[in-house]
Amino acid sequence: MTAGRLLIVDDEKVALKNLEQAMKKAGHAVTATQSGGNALALLEKQPFDVVLTELHMDKVDGLLILKRCRENHPDTEVILVTGQATSASAVEAMKQGAFHYLAKPCRPEEVRQLVADALEKIRLRRESRTLKKQVESYQGTVRILTQDRHMQHLLDMARQVAPTDCNILITGESGTGK
């Protein structure tokens, strides 16, 4: 499992410490805070891979943290945790782009697995972007090596007509690899 940079936000001190210890034990770099305002300030200073945040807090709640993550750090996955779970709040969280919605009390192994899944999603998203860039850079690049002057002439002609938007008829005997 890949270690991630986690931000844990919970106004309940005991819940915060439990999550922090469980995630550190799993090998993650953890920053923890009891304040949603502090969490927003930390997110301004540095990106995190995963944010685990309590949904219901004073002043700055988990949905605002989720919104700021989506705006400023779209690769960051947010897991909302709450002791007051409702289907309406779960639907709203998912609509706004939460990775997962978790009702308290939550087992440490459940949270560890969710964080691992979120990190895998981030890895796959980044890999996909890298591969797309590589494919885009290769498009239109044909590498044919030849010493034959007829083939070189043919390749020169192909390079000349390639940028145009017109149909081209290629003729020749059957079996010649047109």
Give the domain ranges of the chain.
5-136
Q: Which residue in 85, 29, 87, 98 sits closest to 56, CA to CA?
A: 85
pLDDT score at 92: 86
pLDDT score at 27: 94
pLDDT score at 117: 96
CATH architecture for residues 5-136:
3-Layer(aba) Sandwich (3.40)
pTM beyond 0.85: no
Question: Which whole number is the average pLDDT over 30-58?
Answer: 94
Q: pLDDT, tens digit, for every residue of 137-149? A: 776 666 778 888 8
Instruction: Give me the percent of the chain exceeding a pLDDT of 90.
Output: 55
Q: What is the DSSP string of 103-172?
A: ESS--HHHHHHHHHHHHHHHHHHHHHHHHHHHHHHHTT--------HHHHHHHHHHHHHTTS-S------
